[in-house]
A and B are shown apart, each in its own frame.
Chain A
Amino acid sequence: DAGITQSPRYKITETGRQVTLMCHQTWSHSYMFWYRQDLGHGLRLIYYSAAADITDKGEVPDGYVVSRSKTENFPLTLESATRSQTSVYFCASSEAGAANEQFFGPGTRLTVL
């Protein structure tokens, strides 16, 4: 029962480099989400996806790109990493329907030097 997984769990990169964070879920949930967690802000939504090939911006999308070619995968790419993108990134998934629980992955701690 793998559930929802993220890789890598830890990543250090340099300013200007491209970084891709992976997210995979085994439940066939329709919805998938990317959040970033920063002290004092809680979790803020970056992008979400309602189904394969359907994505939409969240609260803080600038500097990020997502894709969803398959239902189970939802990678997040930082095209040119900046220090302000140092954060803990969480992927989540949920079934379609009102007020369904979101299930979260274990998170990726990203440090941009």
Chain B
Amino acid sequence: AQTVTQSQPEMSVQEAETVTLSCTYDTSESNYYLFWYKQPPSRQMILVIRQEAYKQQNATENRFSVNFQKAAKSFSLKISDSQLGDTAMYFCAFMKPYGQNFVFGPGTRLSVLP
């Protein structure tokens, strides 16, 4: 079974700085998909970024980018120019190929400080 680990329960960053959230996973699959979801205080789950394991290029969405290290089974999220609205829980999630179900990590609570 797949497992997803987020080793940082809480983090904080100053507004406009850069922060990196860690995620590691365990799988025997060679192809799969990885996601980062954001959950602000409103509780709404919002997709931040998605990565396909067979693509070597790291995904980027505006201020959000990932560092995908397949051999190390690591999928970290970098947030540049942090904004107050980035304050949220961030969940890393794994999906098998031809699957529809997520396995989520326990989450990292990020606070952006003014």
Q: Do A and B come from one complex?
A: yes
Stretch binding the partner chain, chosen from B63-71, B77-85, B102-110:
B102-110
Q: Contact between A45 and B102 (Cβ–Cβ < 8 Å)?
A: yes
Q: Contact between A42 and B101 (Cβ–Cβ < 8 Å)?
A: no
Within 8 Å by CB of B95, from A43, A99, A107, lies A99
- How many Å lie between the Cα of A102 and that of B45 in the bound state? 9
Q: Contact between A42 and B33 (Cβ–Cβ < 8 Å)?
A: no
A-B contact number at CB 8 A:
51
- How many Å lie between the Cα of A45 and that of B95 in the bound state? 12
A residues near B95, Cβ cutoff 8 Å: 98-99
Apart from the given pairs A42-B107, A90-B45, A106-B43, 14 other A-B contacts in the complex at a CB distance below 8 Å:
A40-B106, A42-B6, A42-B104, A43-B104, A45-B101, A48-B101, A58-B101, A96-B100, A98-B97, A101-B47, A102-B102, A104-B44, A107-B43, A107-B44
What residues make up the interface of A, taking CB atoms closer than 8 Å to B? 31, 33, 35, 40-45, 48, 50, 58, 88, 90, 92, 94, 96, 98-102, 104, 106-107
* Shortest 4 CB-CB contacts between residues of A and residues of B: A104-B45, A42-B104, A99-B33, A43-B104
